[in-house]
Amino acid sequence: MVVKVGIINYSVGNLGSLINAFRRVGGEVQLIGPENPHLVRSVDALVLPGVGAFDAAVKYLSQIVDYINEAVSSIPILGICLGLQLMFEGSDEGVLRGLSWYKSWVKRINGPRVPHIGWDLVRVVRPCPILTNDDYYYFMHSYAVINPGGEVPYSGITKYGNDQILSVLCDEDRLVFGVQFHPEKSSRAGLEVLRRFLSLSRK
């Protein structure tokens, strides 16, 4: 069964590797933007990708945010890197409010090197259907939710310096998921995350 995947196109950066990764795991990709927001209602899963800056992405999403909010709890939604950060109230990277689906703030990381680039361990602390085992994934970011509290439904963390970075968000009740790493750049383990995400649309 082919799963129709809608990827929000912020019109910045290259989505080619993400598109190819979803196609490899059985996804039929549809790019969605202000010119065709109604397509959110016709896809089986929705992705907020990890390209661009926070405020620029918020401004872009403001043109289609009603459609995106409507999709919550209806179809699986995956935020990748910046896409995950947009689900929170705001970010130190900008001044605009995020989607505010979750009550926390995105902060500049304080690890040994900023940005945090390269492979790092994601430790699963709570069960999540998109990621069940500890493994290494590829990160590329300067901001993250740090030391997430109980109000955030996180299931994976990554230690960076003295901080615990929220690396996997898992809200099964609302069908909302997020990863701070880039699954499309994370080889076998990353493709498995995308495959598991798509499988949720068939349930």
The CATH number of domain 3-202 is 3.40.50.880: yes
199 CB-contact burial (10 Å; exposed 0-12 / middle 13-18 / buried 19+): middle
Q: On the CB side of 184, how many CA atoms lie within 13 Å of its CA?
A: 19
CB contact at 8 A, 161 and 110: yes
| DSSP state, residue 46 | E
120-169 pLDDT tens trace: 999 999 999 999 999 999 999 999 999 998 889 999 999 999 899 999 99
Give catalytic residues, as residue numbers.
81, 182, 184
66-116 pLDDT tens trace: 999 999 999 999 999 999 999 999 999 999 999 999 999 999 999 889 999
pTM of the model: 0.96
What does the domain layout of the chain look like in residue ranges? 3-202
Question: What tokens appear for 127 in the block?
Answer: 């069960």
